[in-house]
Amino acid sequence: MKPGQYILLSCTILLLAATTYWLYIFRPFRNISEQHIVLQPLGNFPDKEAAWLLENIRITHPNSSLRTAIPFPPSAYYPTRQRYRADTILRYLRQAISGDTVIIGLSQKDISTSKNGKKDWGVMGLGYMPGKACVVSTFRLAKSNKREQFHKVVLHEFGHTQGLPHCLEKTCFMRDAEGGNPLDEETGFCNQCSSRLHHKCITSP
Ligand SMILES: [Zn+2]
Ligand SMILES: [Zn+2]
């Protein structure tokens, strides 16, 4: 086989593997492919990572789009910990969309909310439940497999916007991180969460 043919074959295999993986991960969402997802990078979030996420989300949500980056809302800044309040970001993002759209804020900076009796608790993401906005941050993710972990957080927060609460199943995407990073133990939505998502898909207007 010539080197050119070998490269072409390798690329095709890689593309097929990536597509199969994403179709598997997103299988509960197949019936809501009409839903519009807007990706909204915040601050200096890398273009390359936002484009990568869009490409993969479009496999199941072809109507999805990527907006140009905007600054964090100044009122979200929490100077004591030099990070951004996720709940303030959600209120800000919610105003930027209309109709059957979910907006996902993308952050490289650390984000936080009030949780477990703590006034300012660092999180990987936060989403309305149910609602139209969520925000995810790469700040607390492992460096070695950041992309893989990132998409799991995106799916978790998107799941919240679709009405899914936290799940006790340790391998489920809807597991509560509880201040840690259990993402590598998560393999997909459990049967119960999948069926709730599916039910939401076929009953939503
Ligand atoms: Zn959660
Ligand atoms: Zn679950």
CA of 67 to the centre of ligand 1 (A): 24
What is the reported pLDDT for 9?
72
Confidence of residue 205 (pLDDT cuts 50, 70, 90): very low
CA of 155 to the centre of ligand 1 (A): 10
Q: Residue 193 above 50 pLDDT?
A: yes
The mean pLDDT of 128-147, rounded to a whole number, is: 96
Q: How many whole angstroms separate alpha carbon 1 and alpha carbon 8?
A: 11
What is the reported pLDDT for 146?
96
Quick: pLDDT tens for 160-171.
999 999 999 999
Answer with the residue of higher pLDDT: 69 or 27.
69
What is the reported pLDDT for 172?
98
Amino acid (1-letter code) at residue 113: T
CA of 173 to the centre of ligand 1 (A): 9
Q: What is the DSSP string of 20-72?
A: HHHHHHTGGGGGGTTSEEEEEEBTT--HHHHHHHHHHHTTT-TT-EEPPPBPP
CB neighbour burial string for 55-67, b if at least 16 within 10 angstroms, e if fewer: ebbbbbbeebebe
Ligand number with the minimum distance to the CA of 178: 1
Amino acid (1-letter code) at residue 86: A
Contact in structure between 122 and 109 (CB atoms under 8 Å): no
* Predicted TM-score of the model (pTM): 0.84
User: 100: which residues sit within 8 A by CB, 6+ positions away?
Assistant: 34, 35, 36
The residue whose two tokens read 């939401």 is 200
What is the reported pLDDT for 203?
47
From the list 94, 114, 91, the residue with the least C-alpha distance to 102 is 94
Confidence of residue 61 (pLDDT cuts 50, 70, 90): confident
Q: What is the mean pLDDT of the chain?
A: 89
Amino acid (1-letter code) at residue 189: F
